[in-house]
Amino acid sequence: MDSMKRRDFIEFLGGASLSMALGTCLPGCASQGLSSQKILPLEVSSHDQLVTHKELDFYILNSYGDSLGSGKVFGFNCDYNCIIPLPGKTNEALLWTNHEFIDPFFVNLGQKNPFARSKDQVELEQKMVGGSICHIKNLAGQWTVLRDSRFNARIDGTTPIPFSGGAEVLGAKMAKGTLANCAGGRTPWNTVLTCEENYEDFYGEVSYEGKIRKVSKSKEFSWEEVDPQAPEHYGWVVEIDPLNNARAKKLLPLGRFAHESATCVRAKDGRVVVYMGDDKVNECFYKFISDGPNSLESGKLYVANIGKGRWEILDAHENPILKKHFSEQKQLLIETRKAAKLAGGTPLDRPEDVEVHPFTKDIYLSCTNNKTKDVFHGSIMRFQEDQSDFTSLTFKATTWKEGGLEEGFSCPDNLCFDPKGNLWMTCDISESLMNRSHWKSFGNNSLFVIPFSGPQRGEVIRVANGPVDSELTGPCFSEDGKTLFLSVQHPGSSSQKVGKLTSHWPKGNNAKPLPSVVAMKGPLLDNLMR
């Protein structure tokens, strides 16, 4: 599909979105909601700094290794952030942060050979993944972490986590920890969904040929060399209750694959729908419809067949095609990818994060890239459920924005809507490709905003650039929209020697780089939030 030109924007938007394109208003989106002054985009940068728009400031909230009290420390490679309000507190909240993966080079003092690491070193790495819960408080307009709060907690790669519904997976009711935690979601009952993405990098992967089970070794971290675990215990969505002693469970009904996200919405009939991308080339887009209003422990899983505009059910008993291949639903869920392809799921270009517009109810999916098909810059897709009903089994899908030089972005990844309905986007050009070849013109990975109303509606505006090698991830707004929380992940990740680091952010000089969560505020946000 041709890239969407600005002159096509009004025609391209449909339904409730059209009213915005015409300059009229949706509920909660006043016509004066955006500044009448143009936001000038930030220039491309390749510097080792977090460079922000002149009307946007930041300060660091948490960095790798920071204390959370009682011996707990903030983990490595922060990713998805999620705000959970504290009941009865207007200026306090809990901030959940994912810790996606480790880099042995930084966690274990320069050790890059996975086969040379001891069991103690691997255990240290296991404790640096998972997620952190931080109690934060707004003091005079600036958020700070209450380091010794009883709410502060860590869920990591060693935490025992049960499978939902008392289920057993390979004879075990518990998994050892959670890992590869990428994006996620927040439920209507204020629990966090954290997603296990590239789980095979830690304990390998499993394949099934009939009843024959084959396990392949991991190619990245090789934890199985000193601590073998069943690959089937990973690749799930994990529900965390930050207000209840960080109680956790792995939600089997949502399937097993490289979960990038798990975005929750409540349907018209009260049930909850979760949209999920599978972050691998030529993998699929899913949704889960719960059976009841306040639980994700039972329901139906579907995969998107875009050619037919239909959600195909992934059920070993209800789908005639899948009945022939799976005798039980649990095995189907373990092999979700296989089931999705058999059922007619459409392969996509690394479907990653997904967000639902708060007013139009349209669903936006970032497809990062697919070099096997020469899709270098990716796209953002838009899905419109029939009659704007999240439980509908039919939909319309289109390419909303196509990455490339014309739009000024490449490899879209995390998405986030602010309270006024503007879309924020981060990008994920890998450090091995950044500032090279097809990606040379885009500089370091960046943060963008796409206004949905006002004089710049539909424009992709660059507002921040990350340090060397980094990826900006996990954009998340405070409840009032005046603060944007953002993770700066893996700065300096291409470093090969302790004395030749590629990044020294955020401390500068000769300091080692530190993945960090920052809080952003300033006139740019204030104008967008008006």
The Cα–Cα gap between 388 and 360 comes to 8
pLDDT in tens, 414-430: 999 999 999 999 999 99
The Cα–Cα gap between 484 and 474 comes to 10
What pLDDT shows up at residue 32?
36
CA distances in angstroms from 77 to 193, 218, 411, 437, listed in the order given = 18, 19, 19, 26
CA distances in angstroms from 378 to 229, 284, 369, 374, listed in the order given = 34, 15, 4, 10
Q: How confident is the model at residue 205 (pLDDT cuts 50, 70, 90)?
A: very high
- What mean pLDDT comes out for the span 487-514? 95
CA distances in angstroms from 524 to 38, 47, 78, 473, listed in the order given = 11, 22, 25, 19
pTM (predicted TM-score): 0.93
What pLDDT shows up at residue 115?
60
What pLDDT shows up at residue 413?
98
Amino acid sitting at position 215: V
- What mean pLDDT comes out for the span 186-198? 98
pLDDT in tens, 165-174: 999 999 999 9
The Cα–Cα gap between 206 and 470 comes to 31
What pLDDT shows up at residue 528?
87
Q: What is the enclosing helix (H) or strand (E) of 10?
A: helix 9-12
pLDDT in tens, 81-136: 999 999 999 999 999 999 999 999 999 866 656 567 789 999 999 999 999 999 99
**Would you say residue 496 has pLDDT above 90?**
no
Task: Say if residues 178 and 131 touch (Cβ distance below 8 Å).
Answer: yes
What pLDDT shows up at residue 427?
98
Buried b (16+ CB within 10 A) or exposed e, 239-266: bbbbbeebebbbbbbbbbbbbbbbbbbe
**Would you say residue 12 has pLDDT above 60?**
no
Residue 90, number of CB atoms within 10 A of its CB: 10
- What mean pLDDT comes out for the span 35-61? 93
What pLDDT shows up at residue 37?
76
pLDDT in tens, 301-337: 999 999 999 999 999 999 999 999 999 999 999 999 9
What pLDDT shows up at residue 367?
98
Higher pLDDT, 93 or 5: 93
What pLDDT shows up at residue 8?
37
What pLDDT shows up at residue 14?
41
- What mean pLDDT comes out for the span 207-214? 93
What pLDDT shows up at residue 29?
38
The Cα–Cα gap between 486 and 47 comes to 19
- What mean pLDDT comes out for the span 465-493? 97
